[in-house]
Structure 1
Amino acid sequence: MKSIKLSRKTLSFISALLISSLCGTQYAFSVYSTSVAERLGFSSVQINTIGSSANYGLFFFGPFFGYIVDTYPSRIIPMLASITIFTGYFCLAMTYQGYFPNSFLLCVFYLLLTGIASCAAHLSSMGTISTNIKSYRGIAFGASMALFGLTAFIFSQINSLFFRGDTYHFLLFTAITTGVFIFIGSIFLVRVPQEESHEEIISPSEENSSTSSASLNNEERTPLLSRHEESDVRGRELFQNIDAMILGLTLLLIGGVGLMYMNNVGAIVKSLYLSTSTHPLLIDEEYFSSSLPSDHDLNKIQEYQNFHVTLLSLFSCSGRISVGLMSDLSKNMYNVRRLWFLLAASLYILIGQILAGFMIKDLNHLWISSTFIGFGYGHLFGISPTITNEWFGKIQFVLNWYFISFGGQLFNLFFGYNFDKHKNDCSGLSCYNTAFYVSTIGSMISLCVVSTLLFKRRNQI
């Protein structure tokens, strides 16, 4: 009987990891964004709006699905999510190929569906982990979040290896893969009832000898298992809490700036490539012209785009993992507050913005900016949930977190507006550096905001 229960929980955990690895496809948007814009004739503002809709689907519906998953746990939610995410990517592929009407608003809706589905499936997997895994819950959550962050890396590598320049079949592959495997994972996503949850995947004897070291592996370990009395701020109280509002502003600024770069790195790569191309006519025409770049140029651009999406994904993942370990060590051993790591995230992204917007003028050095921004973005979303949990409690943590983390898309839209304004009379850096003036100012403000929080809470956690 014990072995059966253990097998059920192990299989469920593996299924949760499988689902998590398929829920971050919105961060691979830059892999195909320029191709979609060229084929369908979308402006930069329009393609940024389409990309942002996936992120809004992921974040805006978080409170709703967080409540549903906590209150009515069921495998039906990820099953429906699998159908929804398949529908979104399939419809986008059909639109790209000309089988469905070429509509900007419909494309926004398709990507919104993928974001909603990703949100529902990911929260379902996290809820299952929370119920089934008691020992080493932090490690389990860390593995899930890391795989979520690696989704863009996985799909960008698949695109590079098997779908060079073939956006239609790549979108079909994404639709089928995410839909089928999330559905399969949901079949085995079983929550073991509380009365059965005495045996863990790792034995109690191992737990007793390893609790100390395991607690350092993920930032969620400390707040989840803390024995100290915790805060309970929720609902209207959250919106009346000054610290919550300042923290939300910080995430809006840092996250928005980072997301602007991540969603537009494809456009940046293409602009820099064409400005240094051996074909000078390319830089004198409208940017999104499908007739001028050769197949060789398009393939090279796709390779560079995949490389930078991969780089952003890998460093975002490493940032999420490392900040948990470092913040736990620093807090437990040296009493260093976690807010310092939020300040570091802001600094990393500021450096990346300055490099990309004003100093890097060719593709040979753009990787430096992608590294800083990816690592800073990972730091941000690795440490912020822990801060939210510790400051405002875990009773309604999911709702609190999504309310605080929602926002940041305005930088995306401004980048698109600025790019459209200059695309006919610019090349390379000059096509987009005005947007980086604004984002750099946003990053500087975020540094001031985090510093204010550090001073305000100097005698608190």
Structure 2
Amino acid sequence: MSSSHANHPPPLLSFARVTSFLTCILVALASGTNYVFSAYGPQLGERLKLTHTQINIVGLSGNIGVYGTAPIWGGIVDRKGPRLMMVMAFFSLLIGYLGIRQFFINGLPDDDSSIGLFSLCALVFCGFLTGIGGNGGLVGSMNSTAKSFPDKTRATANGIVISGFGLSAFLFSTIAHTFFPGNTSSFLLVLAIGTALPMILGFLFVRPIPPPHIDSTRRLEDGTPVSPADYGVGEGLGTGSPTTYSVENTSHTHLLARDEDEEDEDARVPAIELEEEEPLVSSTHAQATSDYVVPGQVDSVALSPTHAGLTRHRSHSSRSISRRSIQTHLDKTADGQPNIHGKRLFKTLDFWLLFTICSLLSGTGLMYINNVGAISQALFANKNPDYDEIKAAQWQATQVSTVSVMNCLGRILIGVIADFTKVKLRLPRSACIVLVALMFVVSQLMCFSIDRIGDLWKASALLGVAYGGLFGLFPTLVIEWFGLPHFSENWGFVSLSPMLGGNIFSIAFGRNVDAHDPDASPSNSDTSTLSSTAAAALSTLASSLLPSPPSTSTPAALPTSTPTLSSTLTDAVRARAGVPSSHHCIMGRECYVDSIKMTIGACCVALALGVYAAWRDLRKHRARRTPAVVVWEDDE
């Protein structure tokens, strides 16, 4: 941020602000390619003979990179700005996707039937690099956008930028399938170059520009707040002090009530004793710097909360600072906005509510997004005598594109709805959590009931809107509940939740599909649920296609290499029969329906928690708007 912008912020629609905002959208478009994994994941798995569980581990490595590094990148961008993030994102995305592409080109050696442990770890690391690179670009863009727009439009601006993150999968999937249809290697090359180059523009143009109506001198270029002395604490109390006011006080002036949670929190804070050898400010100095000074010990103000029925006495002596004043200074900025971070963040119930809700909902979304390709192939292959790999890939790309477009739309819509809810309806933005959670529940119920590939787009569209709404809303709630000074760091800690939920749900999905795949791994052969009719049909077709053995004697025992031969013959039979290779489940919704039952339950729990969070936040807002009973007492 230049010094001229810090001292004299440009207008809201200035060239510098618009340029930075548009570049943020472009960087976000290049940052969300982890959502496109389903467009090449099945092909990568077939090329390297990966099981569905292994495919999910590779996909999750990117998600772990995105969400696992969020607190680290958030803390760095809060202090150092977005440029360092752009440099890191450039190299991580380029190396990560080029590495995955090289694995795809090389494939497996002819004498290997499965990928080795070292190669699998290297592939997972490449996926992890794509995740940390994408998150670096997104964190830099979101931080700059949040600090460049006023509160009344912040949710909309953030929603537009984050919508680029959701649209990324559609953009790159469309480019690849338009210009390189069926060529996965070229698709991965487009991902490598197309995600790295926008980071160069981000390095040049993305920067936070303070809104015109905010005193930008309260924050330095690196994002750290000015020292408390500049607020009038410790060196003399000026007009910014919490105990002096520059407005005239009358009998009609209301003192806002404190909410119940703040009362409880106040009771838990240990008393802090200060030395009182020197007065903080003399009465002469206070009168010179303010039009009104809170009365001293003689004319004290007492607040009498109605719920307790007791009179609460507080003196504002010039020789002491109350315990509550110190806590307010720690958790508030100079303009009274929240500033909660570090250890205090983990001691708030609000953080754990956001973390739990986000974990359940984002875990559901990541499971679906990472596996929608497998879901579409399972539905397309089920009882389909005309199975074709090209058509299956088209259905697969259609679902990825649908999720991506609706993800983008959901992030934009939730920003507008959240701002409308707060500004027009005068309700807290947290009320929108209920709407988002409800959409997740409906999307999973719809996915549970669909058994035709032609209807899957309905579940994909609704899931995309819900997932986009989740990540369009929660960053704004983090700002609203915990403050802007440490926004990226706080959001990074909340962003650890998808890593937890995504790991659990996606791994469960992979194991569920593998359990229904007779040839995914030898350990699953006994638990396979392939119907006896299908098995008999495959056996009959194999005997008709293969030559009969010589009838010299009773058939001898097959050699030890029979399992490998059997697997090869099964693949050949399945290919001639018009069904996918042995690494695809062909039983339709039965392949994954148990996983959908799990996510339905998780989303219902998240909905209940969302209702509680919205009710709790609404209670706080009403408490702040309710005037307290003011009792003036004179010492006789």
TM-score of the two chains, using structure 2 as the length reference: 0.61
2:179 pairs with one of 155, 158, 162: 162
Aligned to 1:30: 38
CA contact (8 A) 1:275 1:428 kept: yes
1:270 pairs with one of 350, 355, 377: 377
1:349 pairs with one of 433, 440, 443: 440
CA pair 45-170 structure 1, distance change in 2 beyond 3 A: same
What pairs with 1:26-425 in structure 2 (closer than 5 Å)? 26-73=34-81, 75-98=83-106, 103-130=119-146, 140-189=157-206, 229-279=336-386, 297-357=388-448, 359-407=449-497, 408-409=501-502, 410-424=504-518, 425=529
Aligned partners of 1:242, 1:262: CA distance in 2, in Å? Answer: 30
CA pair 155-383 structure 1, distance change in 2 beyond 3 A: same
Q: Which stretch of the first structure deviates more once superposed, 85-94 or 417-426?
A: 417-426
Aligned to 1:287: none
Establish whether residue 437 from structure 1 lines up as the match of residue 597 from structure 2.
Answer: yes
Give the Å deviation of 1:304: 1.1
CA pair 236-134 structure 1, distance change in 2 beyond 3 A: closer
Aligned partners of 1:388, 1:124: CA distance in 2, in Å? Answer: 16
CA contact (8 A) 1:164 1:302 kept: no
CA pair 441-185 structure 1, distance change in 2 beyond 3 A: same
Give the Å deviation of 1:9: 5.1
CA pair 193-274 structure 1, distance change in 2 beyond 3 A: closer
Aligned to 2:614: 454
Q: Note the alpha carbon deviations across 1:228-264, whole angstroms, 9 max, x for none.
A: 8333322222222222212211111111111111111
CA contact (8 A) 1:42 1:104 kept: no
Aligned to 2:559: none
Letter of the 1:420 counterpart: D
Aligned partners of 1:328, 1:130: CA distance in 2, in Å? Answer: 14
CA pair 14-382 structure 1, distance change in 2 beyond 3 A: closer
CA contact (8 A) 2:157 2:415 kept: no
CA pair 337-7 structure 1, distance change in 2 beyond 3 A: closer
Letter of the 1:123 counterpart: V
Aligned partners of 1:440, 1:194: CA distance in 2, in Å? Answer: 42
Letter of the 2:380 counterpart: Y
Structure 2 unmatched ranges of 5 or more: 110-114, 217-332, 519-528, 531-586, 622-636
CA contact (8 A) 1:27 1:263 kept: yes
Higher helix share: 1
Q: Note the alpha carbon deviations across 1:421-441, whole angstroms, 9 max, x for none.
A: 112234001111111111111
CA contact (8 A) 1:165 1:298 kept: no
Q: Who wins on radius of gyration, i.e. which is larger?
A: 2
Give the Å deviation of 1:456: 3.7
> What is the number of equivalent residue pairs in this alignment?
415
CA contact (8 A) 1:24 1:118 kept: yes
Aligned partners of 2:350, 2:74: CA distance in 1, in Å? Answer: 23
**DSSP 3-state at the match of 2:454:** coil
Q: Note the alpha carbon deviations across 1:371-420, whole angstroms, 9 max, x for none.
A: 11111111211221222222222222222222123232111111011111
Aligned partners of 2:79, 2:87: CA distance in 1, in Å? Answer: 17
CA pair 98-193 structure 1, distance change in 2 beyond 3 A: same
Give the Å deviation of 1:173: 1.5
CA contact (8 A) 1:78 1:186 kept: yes
Structure 1 unmatched ranges of 5 or more: 200-225, 280-292
Aligned partners of 1:257, 1:273: CA distance in 2, in Å? Answer: 22
**DSSP 3-state at the match of 1:335:** coil
**DSSP 3-state at the match of 2:424:** helix
Give the Å deviation of 1:7: 5.4
TM-score of the two chains, using structure 1 as the length reference: 0.82
Give the Å deviation of 1:179: 1.8
Aligned partners of 2:389, 2:443: CA distance in 1, in Å? Answer: 26
CA contact (8 A) 1:414 1:435 kept: yes
Letter of the 1:438 counterpart: M
CA contact (8 A) 2:68 2:495 kept: no
Q: Note the alpha carbon deviations across 1:75-122, whole angstroms, 9 max, x for none.
A: 343123212101000000000111799522111110100111111122
Give the Å deviation of 1:144: 1.8
**DSSP 3-state at the match of 1:21:** helix
**DSSP 3-state at the match of 2:336:** coil
CA pair 322-17 structure 1, distance change in 2 beyond 3 A: closer
CA pair 275-100 structure 1, distance change in 2 beyond 3 A: closer
**DSSP 3-state at the match of 1:334:** coil
Give the Å deviation of 1:227: 11
Give the Å deviation of 1:184: 4.2
Give the Å deviation of 1:180: 2.5
